[in-house]
Structure 1
């Protein structure tokens, strides 16, 4: 339909399709895992449709997240707003290229969110209505988490507990818990299994986001597709930063106050995170959360272990 309206909208559609090429596909994988744990048929095509819809939700969130953060790259390529800025300049268009890029990113992110619902609605599974309620909650929760993250950047500091609340709502629920719930609900799971999956999902999702935070500061840009230190440059009050503030002395806290959120302060804040023991503390948090998730997987039984065990390792033992 978009292509019929001319080359500008063909370009928008091409950008959307190109954006979802790549990525870890974790949310669809957890959705499929929830389906299998609840006894769903692995050959059922409807679950593939439902799980794929979550990739449009993820794409929408990333396009908007990059815009809010002013990020230049995503997955080793220009972020959507930067790509449309560049297109504006290359084609010598009238007006403001930055404004054009911003508008394109807002609209494309909204379109992807609409496509998520449209695709999910077409899965044809008998329990789709039950699962849709979890998808609705997922969308609300990720917006709540994103806003807590944005609001946190306006504060001088966040405690570890406050930073972990951001982790839970911005990532753990959205990446692991709700996709598992959606897949299980599509297979007709009852409340007991949904609750048992939460016991797996929340610690695993929190460990996933803490690993993401570590990679954002110490990861290899060749692997992550983003410059190392972006979170520090953007002034994100992550758990790493909260741990550093907790463990350092007053001079270290003053360094955080003056250098976090500046390009020139990235190296000194990174060094503080390491030397204060914050990096080691967060690695300890990740190991503790992994162990909690592992115990919860064991309580679900051997079949669930076969499905969730490898996926849990993929989420937390990664380099990108």
Structure 2
């Protein structure tokens, strides 16, 4: 997510215009054969991923599901930041204990002294040099699946199955443009006309997903894939943030039976809900977006206990991890402070 939702942080909202996201990411990759110049090496890289950010949340989930905790360490900025950068304000002294920096911007400038694009998370930093490697969030998780295989845990699921990739890519693209980015298109619309169009697009897509998930347990069928990870992080934020803050208020997630059941199914699956901190999520959006919420007041609601209620999705069949197994319990030092469990 951007450090400034309107300018250098990665997205743009122009009065009278439709919201547009800046997608000029650092597209370097960390590869198994090292041909990219950044070879896969356990312990060399640090993932910087704020729990508040839906794009960063994806990387935390995939890292958990694949069992990459020992291979790739994680730095966790706090939920709020200034217009300049995400900061490590949750760490002692406000400094990341591995990188030794107070803000992720420092890693960007270490590599690119004149860096002019968005200072975003997730980002992967090369620990020896202190330089950012990539912030290309869609590719980071795919590379966790494909390039880091020798460090996957025993029983790790196949999140990007070869046989499903063509269909998956189409589904993920629609989920991204219409849902993941669609809520932002509503929230940062520059005019009534732009908002109305964005609102209609979003709910056309949510109705499509509601129908799709009525008789299938996961987006691609009988097991969890990368597509589910990408949709889940938006659904987890829908009622706490997007419904009110971004005015996506035709209905709540809890009023869409299939999507609400699907979201609870995933939340209660190891690797998903145990990466979520609803308090950090609300703090980020309601405090940082001063133009949308000038008071900075964080709503007390909604009631989040429903995430732990029975979802009944087992009757649709399937096995969440396919031929694999669930990840072990989340590490004590990586548990979200306000995890609902």
State the TM-score, normalized to the length of structure 1.
Answer: 0.39
Which structure shows the higher helix fraction?
Answer: 1
State the TM-score, normalized to the length of structure 2.
Answer: 0.37
Which structure shows the higher strand fraction?
Answer: 2
**Larger of the two Rg values belongs to structure:** 1
